[in-house]
Structure 1
């Protein structure tokens, strides 16, 4: 079994880079519903489901606030990131076509919905976003299975750079080996790390992929794969912890939020 696992995760990947680091579990919280992802700030973590949110204390997982969309306008919230006491959730109409996406903004204190930014029709479903070095970075996913839209497969997945006011500047495709790891789905979670690298996940595999912007061309540069305890899907790096890399991830089948340290 060990050989089969290694063979799987190292398809097209240099063996010496794959296991240089791994995520070691610290604690886990089993909650009522954990289906899409998790975000985190200094004191709480936030569970993101298709059209609902819950807020929990980091110490014991106790739920202290909840929000549900009662309008029917939100279909598929994918991920979130906390910035300046606001939770920015990435939303799309997946699996409907044509693809449309938005950023939905919530007050972290109350989980009240306080704003929105619409991408409208776009060549892909927005799955994750982050704000880094004064720019927005958003991943737009395409899929190779039956949910594929408009004739595109997951090779059309891209990372797009926007200004703070949402003007599109540049975009990059994902490397072939990472698209293979994503297949037949696409990237579900992502963020910029403290080291200036891009960390992202696929849909299901317990793996974290580390990428960089290329010094030339339009394809993101693959650095390494980090095995994780949590599944793919949307995750968060706890930026309130300065001397460690603490990862919040999920397992959907049994509704766990898993906290781990990358070592």
Structure 2
């Protein structure tokens, strides 16, 4: 009886904590058939991402203006993309295949033509997102407990790696223990640095955003804050015209969602 009461109390406490958590406010949503892995944006368009498909849509009315379809033997699992200058830079892996192999794929944003590939090899995990920040490439290699995992590594081995512009490894960090608990058996599905220099990360399932800081010392990222978002975790992006807004996806129904960020204490 005591164990049942304790469990109920724990669930109630979790519900109360979720209600007190700052929440992003949903503004708009658009159907996009490629909205299965994530979304990227620039000032005028959003890019819905699937395993081997990308759709380019106008933000004003949600009309698709370009599309790309890759062959699965070469393009197995595109996880996320980010706009960099005139290119869409995307993280790709062979999930759920093992050994885990990763690469960075590049596309012209004008017509989504594939223009280049950078192989990142094996041994770290499955590349889920990559971003150019502070004159370096930052790349997240996910690890999983079950399908797509590569024992003896599990989700706790998920790692953020900093590379120089030539993709030579410089530093690496593990994720905070409490955030790893939130990932469950999965991992970090999306990540972006904010204008404040902090790292914002989503898992694969929960409708939450974790705000992290690169540590001054040690090899583990610091958990600064958490806030709720309208969609379950996948790859997201900041709005290309308004840094106070974000775009994410709802896999159920293949929908892209624009939201306004809440005020969050990051001290």
Q: Same fold (TM over 0.5)?
A: yes
Structure-1 separation of matches of 2:181 and 2:144? 11
Q: 1:205 to 1:193 in 2, by over 3 A?
A: same
Runs of 4+ in 1 over 6 A off after TM superposition: none
Equivalence for 1:7: 14
Equivalence for 2:24: 23
DSSP 3-state at the match of 1:65: strand
Within a 5 Å distance, the mapping from 1:1-263 to structure 2 comes to 4=11, 7=14, 19=21, 21-70=22-71, 72-241=73-242, 244-263=243-262
Structure-2 separation of matches of 1:168 and 1:159? 11
Structure-2 separation of matches of 1:90 and 1:9? 36
Gaps of 5+ in 2: 1-7, 263-267
Q: 1:256 to 1:194 in 2, by over 3 A?
A: same
Deviations 1:209-254 (CA, angstroms, capped at 9, x unpaired): 000001111100001111000110100011432xx51110001011
Q: 1:170 to 1:45 in 2, by over 3 A?
A: same
DSSP 3-state at the match of 1:180: helix
Structure-2 separation of matches of 1:175 and 1:9? 23
Q: 1:49 to 1:212 in 2, by over 3 A?
A: same
Q: 1:101·1:122 contact (CA, 8 Å) conserved in 2?
A: no
Shift of 1:151: 1.7
Deviations 1:88-135 (CA, angstroms, capped at 9, x unpaired): 110000111001000000000010000111001132000001111110
Q: 1:98·1:150 contact (CA, 8 Å) conserved in 2?
A: no
Structure-1 separation of matches of 2:150 and 2:202? 21
Q: 2:96·2:147 contact (CA, 8 Å) conserved in 1?
A: no
Shift of 1:9: 9.1
Equivalence for 2:3: none
**TM-score normalised per structure 2:** 0.91
**TM-score normalised per structure 1:** 0.92
Shift of 1:60: 1.1
Q: 2:88·2:106 contact (CA, 8 Å) conserved in 1?
A: yes
RMSD in angstroms over aligned alpha carbons?
Answer: 1.9
Deviations 1:17-45 (CA, angstroms, capped at 9, x unpaired): x72x3210010002223110000001100
- How many residues of Structure 1 are paired with residues of Structure 2 in the alignment? 254
Shift of 1:171: 0.1
Q: 1:219 to 1:109 in 2, by over 3 A?
A: same
Structure-2 separation of matches of 1:138 and 1:120? 13
